[in-house]
Amino acid sequence: MKHKSNQDSVCPIARSLDVVGEWWSLLIVRDAMLGVKRFSEFERGLGMAKNILAVRLRALVEAGVLRVVPASDGSAYSEYELTEKGKDLLPTMVALRQWGEKHMFGKGDEHSSLLDRPHRKPLAKITVRSADGRELGVDDVELLMPEVEGKSKRRRHA
């Protein structure tokens, strides 16, 4: 079944999920952030079929999350690298990771760790903050919808 595009939606989350909502896509972005560059490296590390990987990489390139560049070693191969748009996914990836660490592992379960490279320390917890710096929870935010027929719709939560 073909997915209906959300590109006409007023919701930024829906539009974003059109690009990175497929779970293989986020794992490709994760690996690119960790320095994976070549098709064969993605294939080996993710264990995905070549045809699926090719489709996902092509979609991420078309969406401007990755770009194809000549191989850094001068060989005839091409490599994939994150664009600025792709690099801007870092806070999203860290937030998703921190949610997974909190909710998807049992007591004593081991998992990988993401560290601040220069200081070799764990990252601070990602939080949502107001413009004046206050930490906000789900009850502290409001969604303002674009005006429709002279009225703006408001929803209590995002």
CATH code given to domain 1-88 = 1.10.10.10
Q: Name the pLDDT band for 22 (thresholds 50, 70, 90).
A: confident
What confidence tens digit (pLDDT) does each residue in 114-147 have? 999 999 999 999 999 999 999 999 999 999 988 7
Closest to 78 in 3D by CA, of 66, 87, 86: 66
Would you call 26 exposed, middle or buried from its count of C-beta atoms within 10 A (0-12, 13-18, 19+)?
middle
Cβ atoms of 58 and 39 within 8 Å: the answer is no
How high is the mean pLDDT of the chain?
90
Q: DSSP assignment of 64-116, as one string?
A: TSEEEEE-TTSSS-EEEEE-HHHHTTHHHHHHHHHHHHHHSS-TT------EE
Q: In the structure encoding, which two tokens stand for residue 45, read together?
A: 């590390």
Q: Name the pLDDT band for 149 (thresholds 50, 70, 90).
A: low
Predicted local confidence at residue 51, as pLDDT: 96
Predicted local confidence at residue 1, as pLDDT: 45
Predicted local confidence at residue 81, as pLDDT: 97
**Cα distance between residue 14 and residue 7, in whole Å:** 8
Would you call 43 exposed, middle or buried from its count of C-beta atoms within 10 A (0-12, 13-18, 19+)?
middle
3-state DSSP call for residue 118? coil
pTM, entire model: 0.85
